Amino acid sequence: QVQVQQWGAGLLKPSETLSLNCAVYGRSFNDYYWSWIRQPPGKGLEWIGEVNHSGYTNYNPSLKSRVTISVDTSKNQFSLTLNSVTAADTAVYYCARKGMSFDYWGQGTLVTVSS
Amino acid sequence: QSVLTQPPSVSGAPGQRVTISCTGSSSNIGGGYDVHWFQQLPGTAPKLLIYANNNRPSGVPDRFSGSKSGTSLSLAITGLQAEDEADYYCQSYDSSLNSYVFGTGTKVTVL
């Protein structure tokens, strides 16, 4: 069975950098792409980007200039960095495995951007 | 702003059948990209409900089914139960945006 656990800072000031991490427990980390998805309070879901075990990434063009997703295969972990955050980046951030679709999800981390 | 449009809400009595539509365009659903459905209970992460248009992951009841026609896709819930009260999202890939995209979301209320 696959378990996905995430962690990171939940309160940021405008212009700071968001940093979240996701650890994957179970086999086959190298066989999938791993994504970050966010959901502003009371709103819908937005895909941020993905990474595979080789470090190959794809990003949502709307966020590409501010996003970096990296991978550490020695720990079966991947990370999200989002620069220059504003209040519009306040959301629950999820990490997820991309199989046929997003089939395993982390528990979510609420990140609030406020001065 | 999402490129996949869903009705904001649907409702039904216990035991009834409800359907949720997901309408896209030629750059996503109409372009042959698979559509997937997620159920999100309050305060929890989304759960994969239907993948590749009409397939259920292990453990998902057969009360949930998906169908596709052209640039639209529907999720049907038969034998509606109180535990089905949740938000539902469709998801696909958009070749114009070069991005995975989600629908606007539909809140299902069990009367």
Q: What is the pLDDT of residues A31-79, one digit of tens each?
A: 999 999 999 999 999 999 999 999 999 999 999 999 999 999 999 999 9
Average pLDDT, chain A: 96
CB pair distance less than 8 Å for B48 and A107 = no
Q: Is the pLDDT of residue B2 over 70?
A: yes
pLDDT digits (tens, 9 = 90+) for B62-106: 999 998 877 789 999 999 999 999 999 999 999 999 999 999 999
CB pair distance less than 8 Å for A100 and B46 = no
Strand residues in chain B grouped as ranges (E) = 9-12, 18-23, 36-40, 47-50, 64-69, 72-77, 86-94, 99-102, 106-110
Instruction: Grade residue A1 by pLDDT with cuts at 50, 70 and 90.
Output: confident
pLDDT of residue B1: 62
CB pair distance less than 8 Å for A94 and B45 = yes
Q: Is the pLDDT of residue A24 over 80?
A: yes
Q: Tokens 């049907």: give the residue.
A: B76
Q: How far apart are CA B64 and CA A1, in angstroms?
A: 23
pLDDT of residue A42: 95
| Chain B CB contacts of A94 below 8 Å | 45-46
Q: How far apart are CA B40 and CA B103, in angstroms?
A: 13
Q: Is the pLDDT of residue A100 over 90?
A: no
Q: Which residue of B has its CA nearest to A95?
A: B45
Q: Is the pLDDT of residue A17 over 80?
A: yes
Tally the residues of chain A.
Answer: 115
Say if residue A75 is exposed, middle or buried (CB neighbours under 10 Å; 0-12, 13-18, 19+): exposed
pLDDT digits (tens, 9 = 90+) for B6-42: 999 999 999 999 999 999 999 999 898 999 999 999 9
CB pair distance less than 8 Å for A105 and B2 = no
Q: Which residue of A has its CA nearest to B42?
A: A42
Query: Is B71 within 8 Å of B24 (Cβ atoms)?
Result: yes
| Chain B CB contacts of A107 below 8 Å | 45
